[in-house]
Structure 1
């Protein structure tokens, strides 16, 4: 520790006297009071936090005592719906096709003006030679598919025949057989569908000829139908 040198005569230097006079007792008292206030503020905050924690714990304990033991509700298992939505139906397309069928085939058409007047009521479209019908009778074309109309009502048979012809044309078939029956099960034993089938076939542009089937192909209960070849079906109409 350095010591102040004493001037001759035993007096302190002038600088030492000025430092002692710069820090007064009032400044030390204010600093001491500030430190005490800060410590007191920290103590009050700690006490308030401790009190809040005790009150929260007391409230939670009171709540548990009031409620008592509880058990979760037994919720029933939820059913999982695995239903697959039905496929979309082309309703408008079906309606359009139905309208085309209704316009293309009419029950009011009289085919007698177009049918040959033999017992088989054969038919060939204008511009088609009668040799085509003779070849059809002789089995020149192989039957590639057939439609059986037994048990169908008139409207059902009409729609089934139109659909069958349209499908056969799309597949490029040339010769098909339509079984309409001999009418033995109808009232009066009249072959109702026989005449209707011929009337409907005459109205189909895709049909170029038809005739009664040969005995081993159904005889009077069926008709052989000759359709236009695929090249003619694809050709543009004038």
Structure 2
């Protein structure tokens, strides 16, 4: 066997190299590199996506229209709705006998039981200041009934004690009879807030109007 200058055979060098490699592998374990997890990329929001989608769009030229602000919606009138509901109740609960009413030729006068005679006398003499007025000319029977109920409800809210109802003398009605006048008398007697009423004085309308005394809403 041929020997090297160091006195060792080539096979001994190979065995020594293998031994060195074995020692290095046992002494230092192989390095393992762990890659950090990647964070998800943030997705663009809707505005960004929209701008990207319309990036190639060409804006329209300005128009000649005036920029007029739209009117704001009106607030809901709660009290008015309540009045309208009350009007429906009043209008649907009022029986009427037209023949019986037209057969009476009495003066238009009424006072609720318990009302002093002096109060009615004062009303007939014009001692109360008239605070409101309702003209029923041109109304049909149903229209007049609804208008009268709404008017009296509003007067009670505003504490108007004495008011005038103009019903006309019936010259424009069929057979020239005061149908609306007698209906107004009947409707007024159905109202608990009506204390008394009478035909107006000549200066206040005479036979074509009635003066009504209402309860005080503050009591």
Q: Are the aligned partners of 1:111 and 1:199 in contact in 2 as well (CA < 8 Å)?
A: no
Q: How many residues align?
A: 157
Alignment partner, residue 211 of structure 1: 198
Alignment partner, residue 125 of structure 1: 112
Which ranges in structure 2 are unaligned for 5 or more consecutive residues?
Answer: 1-56
Alignment partner, residue 173 of structure 1: 160
Which ranges in structure 1 are unaligned for 5 or more consecutive residues?
Answer: 1-71, 233-238
**TM-score (normalizing by structure 2):** 0.60
Structure 2 residue matching 1:167: 3-state secondary structure: helix
> Which structure is higher in RCO with an 8 Å CA cutoff and minimum separation 6?
2
Which entry has the higher C-alpha Rg, 1 or 2?
1
Structure 2 residue matching 1:216: 3-state secondary structure: helix
Q: Are the aligned partners of 2:135 and 2:166 in contact in 1 as well (CA < 8 Å)?
A: yes
Matched, 1:144 2:131: yes
Alignment partner, residue 134 of structure 1: 121
Q: C-alpha displacement at 1:181, in angstroms?
A: 0.4
Deviation by residue 1:166-218 (Cα, 9 ceiling, x = unmatched): 22122222111100001111222122211111122112221100011111111
Alignment partner, residue 228 of structure 1: 215
Alignment partner, residue 191 of structure 1: 178
More helix by percentage: 1
Q: Are the aligned partners of 2:197 and 2:213 in contact in 1 as well (CA < 8 Å)?
A: yes
Alignment partner, residue 62 of structure 2: 77
Matched, 1:104 2:104: no
Hey, what's the Cα distance between the residues in 2 that align with 1:120 and 1:225?
Answer: 14
Supply the RMSD in Å over aligned alpha carbons.
Answer: 3.0
